[in-house]
Amino acid sequence: MKFTCFQKKLSDSIIIAQKAITPRTTLPILEGILMTTYKGVLKLVGTDLNLGIECFLEANIIEEGAVVVPSRIFGDIIRKMPNSMIEVEVDSNYRISIKTENSHFTIQGVKPDEYPELKYVEERDPIEIQQNLLKEMIQNTIFAVATDETRPILTGALFEVKEDNINIVCLDGYRLALKRGMVANNKNISVIIPGKTLSEVSRIIDNSDDKISITVDEKHVLFDMGYIRIVSRLLVGEFLNYTQIIPQEHKTRIRADIGTLYDAIERASLLAREGKNNLIKLTLKEDRLIINSNSEVGAAHEEVPITLEGNEMTIAFNSRYFMDILKAVGDEEVCIDFTTNVSPCVFRPEDGDNFTYLLLPVRTSV
C-alpha cells in the first residue's frame, strides 16, 4: 500500500483513533491502529473491543492495501513531522516507510488479517443532535458518573430520548446530574452508555452546531459524524428510576449568584482541604448564606447574599461535590431547594428545566 497526505490531517486522525486504544493490552494487535485504503480515502481504526473508533481522511492513494501500525510510535513519528506532505509506503512484509522531504523512517507493521472487525450497527432511524449541544450535555453530567465498581451500572450514563427531549443522567450515589436537551426527533430510547465512551465522544466532537447522528441497537451505540464513527458496547442492566429520587417538594429555596457562591466556597474549601475532609457548613439565614469551614490550620467564614424563601437551616456538604455542580450549572443564577439537613438538595435553573442536580449532604457529629 502507498499513499501521500498532509501531516496535520494524518496526525489529527491518529490522535482520534488512539482514544479507543488501551495501553498495555494483553492482546498485542490491539496496541495497533488498523490503516486501510478505502474507496479513495484512508481509514484508521482503533479499538479496545469495548469502544471502537473509525476515522476517515483524505489521502492521495497510490496503491491500495492495509496494515496494522504500532499506534504509539507511529503516532509520535507523524506528530513530530513538519506540516507538509508525507509519503507512506508498506511493503509485502508489512515494513512501513514514512518519508518527508528530509526524513525517512522505517518501522515494522503487522499483518491486518487478525485485527478485529468493528461491530456493524445498521444506521436505521438515527437520532440527530447538534454536536455542541451533545458536548455540553456530556461535559455537564459526566463528572457524576460512578468511578468505582460497587455498582457497575452506575459507571455508565443513562441516555434517554423521549419524543423531542434528550436526557443524560449520571449518578454516583453522592450526587445526580441530569441535563435536558431539545431536538426534533420524536423517538423513545433509553440506554446506558459507558462513562468512558461518552467522555471520549465529548472530546472528539466539535463545538459547532453540525449534526451528529446516534444509532442504538440492543447492545451497541454508534455515533456518526461522517468522517468519524464511534461504536461502543452498551452497559446491560437496569438504571435507577431517577425521577423517583428527585424530591418534588422543598421547605427552603434560595437563589444565589453562581460566581459569587462558587468563589466563596472555593475559598472556604482551602481550609477544608487542609483537614482532608472537604467539609463545609452552610447556614441559611435571612438574606445570607454563611459558609464555615475549619481545620487545624484555622477557620474560614464567608458570607454570600441570597434570597431565601422558607425555613432557615444549617446543612453540611463535601465542598468538592458542591463546586462540581456549580461549575456545571453555568447559568448566572441558580435556585437551590432544601428539605432537611440530611436529605438531598436540588439545584434547578431560575426558569425552565434544562438541568437538575441533586446533592446529598453530609452529617457531622458536632
Residue closer to another protein by CB (options 238, 286) is 238
- Whole-number minimum distance, CB 149 to another protein, in Å? 5
Cell readout for 343 is 436529605
Gap between the Cα atoms of 364 and 318, Å rounded? 11
C-beta atoms surrounding 121 within 10 Å: 19
Which residue in 122, 238, 296, 351 binds another protein (CB under 8 A)? 296
Which residue in 24, 93, 188, 351 binds another protein (CB under 8 A)? 24
HSE, side-chain direction, 13 A CA sphere, residue 283? 9
Stretch that binds another protein, among 64-72, 104-112, 161-169, 321-329 (CB under 8 A): 321-329
- What is the β-pairing status of strands 95-99 and 104-108? antiparallel
Q: Does 28 bind another protein (CB under 8 A)?
A: no
- Whole-number minimum distance, CB 26 to another protein, in Å? 4
Residue of 69, 122, 128, 129 whose CA lies nearest to 95: 69
- Whole-number minimum distance, CB 200 to another protein, in Å? 8
- Whole-number minimum distance, CB 129 to another protein, in Å? 18
Q: Which of residues 234-263 bind another protein (CB under 8 A)?
A: 235-236, 240, 245
Q: Does 318 bind another protein (CB under 8 A)?
A: yes
- Asked if 193 and 234 count as a contact pair (C-beta separation under 8 A), the reply is yes
Residue closer to another protein by CB (options 275, 305) is 275
Stretch that binds another protein, among 7-15, 70-78, 122-130, 231-239 (CB under 8 A): 231-239
Gap between the Cα atoms of 197 and 361, Å rounded? 30
Q: Does 298 bind another protein (CB under 8 A)?
A: no
- Asked if 105 and 7 count as a contact pair (C-beta separation under 8 A), the reply is no
Residue closer to another protein by CB (options 137, 256) is 137
Q: Which of residues 150-209 bind another protein (CB under 8 A)?
A: 150-152, 155-156, 173-174, 176, 194-197, 199, 202-203
Q: Which of residues 54-113 bind another protein (CB under 8 A)?
A: none
Q: Which of residues 330-359 bind another protein (CB under 8 A)?
A: 330, 342-344, 358
Q: Quick one: CA dihedral 146, 148, 154, 159, positive or negative?
A: positive
Gap between the Cα atoms of 171 and 270, Å rounded? 26
Sheet holding 156-171, edge to edge: 156-171, 175-194, 355-359, 345-349, 333-338, 252-257, 307-310
Q: Which of residues 1-20 bind another protein (CB under 8 A)?
A: none
Which residue in 68, 169, 279, 308 binds another protein (CB under 8 A)? 279
Q: How many residues bind another protein (CB under 8 A)?
A: 76
Stretch that binds another protein, among 80-88, 123-131, 268-276, 347-355 (CB under 8 A): 268-276
**Residue 110 gets which letter from DSSP?**
B
Q: In sequence order, what are the residues at sequence separation of 6 or more whose Cβ sits closer than 8 angstroms to the Cβ of residue 148? A: none
Burial (Cβ within 10 Å: 0-12, 13-18, ≥19) of residue 114: exposed
Q: Does 224 bind another protein (CB under 8 A)?
A: no
Q: What mask of x and - would describe binding to another protein in positions 111 to 150, judged by CB under 8 A?
A: -----xxxxx---------------x--xx-xx-x-xxxx
Q: Does 27 bind another protein (CB under 8 A)?
A: yes
- Whole-number minimum distance, CB 11 to another protein, in Å? 17
Q: In sequence order, what are the residues at sequence separation of 6 or more whose Cβ sits closer than 8 angstroms to the Cβ of residue 212? A: 128, 129, 130, 131, 134, 205, 223, 224, 225
C-beta atoms surrounding 242 within 10 Å: 17
- Whole-number minimum distance, CB 347 to another protein, in Å? 15
Which residue in 11, 13, 47, 293 binds another protein (CB under 8 A)? 47
Cell readout for 290 is 454563611
Residue closer to another protein by CB (options 13, 155) is 155
Mapped onto helix, strand or coil, the DSSP state of residue 31 is helix
